């Protein structure tokens, strides 16, 4: 039996965060190969866990975006320590710690797996939409003439577009995300006007689109084809918000394989985003 009162709630160092990423891989969450480094640069104060003596036994992220918005993710308890109430205690401590890190009244987001959604709901989180992960093997496509790689000169316009779809400015995350090793980036620009963009990162298995944002279904499809074309023969994962009917139509057209689902949930008022531009969310861990 575990005495919950003897557990130490502590901020994780970088090694602790890397442990969470390793656990996520073992759970089949398929993290990116650079996730630990990028997440740490985004918010080095955003990772907490429970220690039993000197052993990390549970943890998760509570990332703050400039105090304006928070995101909870990476919620994992080591298998041998489950069913003792550790997860419940940790989740509430993480939530309350994140609230204390944010501006008064700031919203918190998270992506909750199906089994845990009733628990999160009791903790104040409401479902806004379902996310579904879909897989397709990359294949050759002709690339639209309006698609180019994202360059440093594009960062300002990319950040503005990202804010429309995320709801808050997050340059400390996005710039590092766009510069990571092995990243593949695509922008759709017409007459020098940005109409959408997509990013692909290498994961433990295959690649993930992270994100795919576009003005309309035509732009989204061309970006998706560019993504598939860049990873021929490898699995490519896309996390769609089911509330966007055009995103659902896209994965049906390309005959993708359903993998699993969760739900985007918010504590407080949902951010003001253009959901019709979201064809693939960025991450389940940091939003």
The CATH number of the domain where 212 resides is what? 3.40.630.90
Q: What is the mean pLDDT of the chain?
A: 97
Co-location of 205 and 190 in the same domain: yes
Residue 34 forms part of a structural domain: yes
Q: What is the pLDDT of residues 110-146, one digit of tens each?
A: 999 999 999 999 999 999 999 999 999 999 999 999 9
Omega before residue 122 within 30° of 0, cis:
no
Out of 72, 101, 130, a domain closes at 130
Query: How does residue 6 score in pLDDT terms, banded at 50, 70 and 90?
Result: confident
Q: What is the pLDDT of residues 167-186, one digit of tens each?
A: 999 999 999 999 999 999 99
Co-location of 94 and 229 in the same domain: no
C-alpha dist (Å) from residue 181 to 38, 48, 212, 230: 11, 27, 19, 15
Distance separating alpha carbons of residues 111 and 261, to the nearest angstrom: 9
- The token pair at 20 is 């969470």
Number of domains in the chain: 2
Co-location of 165 and 39 in the same domain: no
Co-location of 119 and 144 in the same domain: no
Looking up residue 69, the CATH number of its domain turns out to be 3.40.630.30
Name, in order, each residue with C-beta under 8 angstroms of 6's C-beta and a sequence gap of 6 or more. 52
Q: With residue 25 as reference, give the H or E element that holds it.
A: helix 14-26
Co-location of 205 and 249 in the same domain: yes
At 63 the pLDDT is 98
The closest of 109, 113, 106 to 128, measured between CA atoms, is: 109
Residue 287 forms part of a structural domain: no
Range of the domain at 166: 132-261+271-280
Does the structure show a pLDDT above 80 at 29?
A: yes
Residue 95 forms part of a structural domain: yes
Co-location of 249 and 110 in the same domain: no
Q: What is the pLDDT of residues 35-89, one digit of tens each?
A: 999 999 999 999 999 999 999 999 999 999 999 999 999 999 999 999 999 999 9
At 247 the pLDDT is 98
At 1 the pLDDT is 65
Residue 90 forms part of a structural domain: yes
Out of 130, 164, 179, a domain closes at 130
Residue 266 forms part of a structural domain: no
Residue 204 forms part of a structural domain: yes
Half-sphere exposure of 99 (CA within 13 A, CB side): 13
At 2 the pLDDT is 76
At 3 the pLDDT is 79
Does the structure show a pLDDT above 80 at 152?
A: yes
Q: How far is CA 263 from the centre of its chain?
A: 12
Residue 55 forms part of a structural domain: yes
Out of 130, 159, 187, a domain closes at 130
Q: What is the length of the chain?
A: 287
At 4 the pLDDT is 79
- Name the percent of the chain lying above pLDDT 90: 97
Co-location of 15 and 42 in the same domain: yes
Strands (E), 89-247: 107-113, 126-137, 147-148, 184-190, 193-202, 207-214, 235-241
Q: What one-character-per-residue DSSP string does 163-186 give?
A: HHHHSS--HHHHHHHHHSTT-EEE
- The token pair at 185 is 């980036």
Name, in order, each residue with C-beta under 8 angstroms of 172's C-beta and a sequence gap of 6 or more. 41, 42, 43
Average confidence (pLDDT) over 219-248: 98
Report angle CA 175, 181, 209 to the nearest 5 degrees.
Answer: 70
Co-location of 11 and 87 in the same domain: yes
Q: Tell me the backbone φ, ψ of residue 85, rounded to 5 degrees.
A: 90, 5
- Name the percent of the chain lying above pLDDT 70: 100
Residue 286 forms part of a structural domain: no
Co-location of 77 and 167 in the same domain: no
Co-location of 101 and 181 in the same domain: no
Co-location of 27 and 61 in the same domain: yes
Co-location of 194 and 125 in the same domain: no
Distance separating alpha carbons of residues 21 and 32, to the nearest angstrom: 9
């Amino acid at each position: 039996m575990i005495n919950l009162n003897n557990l130490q709630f502590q901020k994780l160092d970088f090694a602790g965060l890397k442990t969470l990423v390793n656990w996520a891989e073992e759970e089949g969450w398929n993290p990116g190969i650079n996730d630990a480094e990028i997440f740490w640069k985004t918010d080095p104060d955003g990772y907490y866990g429970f220690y039993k003596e000197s052993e990390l036994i549970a943890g998760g992220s509570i990332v703050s975006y400039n105090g304006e918005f928070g995101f909870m993710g990476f919620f994992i308890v080591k298998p041998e320590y489950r069913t003792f109430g550790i997860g419940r205690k940790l989740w509430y401590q993480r939530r309350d710690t994140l609230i204390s890190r944010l501006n008064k009244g700031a919203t918190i987001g998270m992506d909750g797996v199906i089994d845990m959604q009733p628990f999160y709901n009791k903790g104040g989180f409401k479902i806004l939409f379902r996310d579904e992960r879909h897989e397709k093997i990359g294949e050759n496509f002709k690339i639209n003439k309006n698609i180019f790689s994202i360059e440093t000169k594009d960062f300002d316009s990319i950040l503005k577009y990202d804010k429309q779809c995320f709801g808050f400015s997050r340059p400390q995350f996005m710039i590092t995300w766009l510069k990571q090793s092995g990243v593949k980036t695509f922008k759709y620009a017409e007459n020098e006007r940005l109409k959408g963009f997509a990013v692909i990162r290498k994961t433990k298995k295959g690649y993930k689109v992270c994100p795919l944002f576009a003005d309309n279904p035509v732009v989204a499809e061309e970006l998706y084809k560019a993504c598939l074309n860049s990873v021929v023969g490898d699995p490519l994962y896309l996390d769609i918000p089911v509330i966007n009917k055009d995103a659902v139509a896209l994965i049906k057209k390309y005959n993708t394989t359903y993998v699993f689902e969760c739900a985007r949930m918010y504590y407080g008022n949902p951010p003001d985003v253009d959901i019709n531009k979201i064809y693939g969310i960025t991450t389940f861990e940091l939003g």
